Structure 1
């Protein structure tokens, strides 16, 4: 069972995870699964400011799309079976460019798969993950915040806001874009402002979504509509609408019908008529990333390492690949009786993550700039590209691979 009472001074851990949202909570469960599989005890601490449901910023009202490849890895860790009932399948994806001829679709059936991904609501997932944490031998400091961290030769020293002091051979920073760990070590963060703000809301439509997801590119930025579990027989979808900052503020505060009419005009009628909208929240869209997401006995994962524009839904999926790679290098270190927080481990992690991080960040940046632009050569090029995918279905395979993340051996053969 998790412990949530103050610990003795300077209690020692193998791994301390700072941040218990999606990435941190999933990593903690993955580490315990690894420990059990290797029959090698690992003392793991998880430090988190609040439990899901108490206005937790990492488990808020937003929904995210978890790619098929990510679900394969979560299943391998034994985590997805505990979350599967919360998911709504994405069986088809429709991509279009508003006001232009570009359009294509991706269909799970074309790749002999049951779905391309699953949409989950973060608050519900958070509660399910914490229910699992409560059943594991993980020391949970919650509510607690990191006050300071000091790098050491054999271990890093952490102090919490209640005065509790910990030491850990390896610290994993999973505490988001405003990482306290990163700021404490005064490590640089590269940032690109896309001059866009996302309006996020749950919307009711008068037409069943039939497990379709939509990505529509507009002159203000991408507009994504994701299928969600129906409530009381009504079709629900999750909306992420990128707008210029002034437009986003206006739509957030607009009368409900004015908002729905504006959304209908921007999106069109493929999802039916939008008839109601829930609470609207906004957040600025930026690209933030650390060039070297490691430090002395410290690894940065998820949004602490990089925060992406939601244009292709790759943020959580890239972060999950971070933690799966970290689990693998920890497993290798344990099998070889190596220091699980030493420079050999952190540099191995850095080397293995570099290509995937670089290519994903570059491709998302390219999509944002290429599809939020009315320069006519770019408009013509992107629309021809979308049409080419429809005219020549085999060209969809690499796009589908990217959208679904890495693949299991069986699905790789089918693609």
Structure 2
């Protein structure tokens, strides 16, 4: 079979791309032809090189810089949608006509950033499925693209989401019942079986915040404000921020302003996430918007409890007061309350972590990418 995967991720590589990448590798190993059309293409990225080494064809899609595209869109009438990025859609259509794929997978970082690519498939009559890795309640499809969004979601052979929450939010935003939609799990980067030994740290509790440093989605600014509260300043608690992103300078300066220089560590990107959980007692995620965080699944599989906001599908996996502690909202007060609940039960964290690992294994298959690849093959068979 011939598959084309179109990724609309706006950075060289994101966590939202792990699912399609693992599925592509599984399909390629079974002898299928895989072509990947990638925005923000970086030929030197290890994942791109891994896909190419496996025999996948990877092609970069030219895109306009964000500012230029915004300026052009302001000058356009709504009767001529997507003209600002017209060259990239022409590229995609040309590739599709050359490849004649049996199925196109439009992989989105959220739930609407790939609809232009999906509309190319719809208009050219290529069968396609949509993957949405995130949905935020406040980000409806842009007004001038709303009609297109409804058309492509209706025309897709199937719509895949990583949480029930994201599916429901998208239905509300489109005003459509998506009967041809389902939830699929994301891959992870830790061992599936057997949680890690509990880290030894008798005098200091180590929390890890594992997320890209972008406050709009990940909410690290909320966590810093909680840590600055007098009671947390007086407790033996340290938070390590793992990840990178454009808001890192602002977050560092905010931490300095709040007097947290000795309470937090900026640990950057790490190649082995298992090493994080070998030395940290729990995950803390102050996210405003999510799909279903890979960091949450990984922490739970490693036997670590989580303190996390009820963003996206987090509360679908994390049992409040059972396998972790859920903050009702992405606010300082709500996160403080959840962290306080966790703190008074610190002695129970090892057993809570064990329950978290069992819960994760009950809800997430050992090879989500392979499972997704089989669903794509079934889609062609149907």
How does the TM-score come out when normalised to structure 2?
0.37
Q: Which has the higher helix share?
A: 2
The structure, 1 or 2, with the larger RCO (C-alpha pairs under 8 Å, 6+ apart) is: 1
Q: Which has the higher strand share?
A: 1
How does the TM-score come out when normalised to structure 1?
0.35
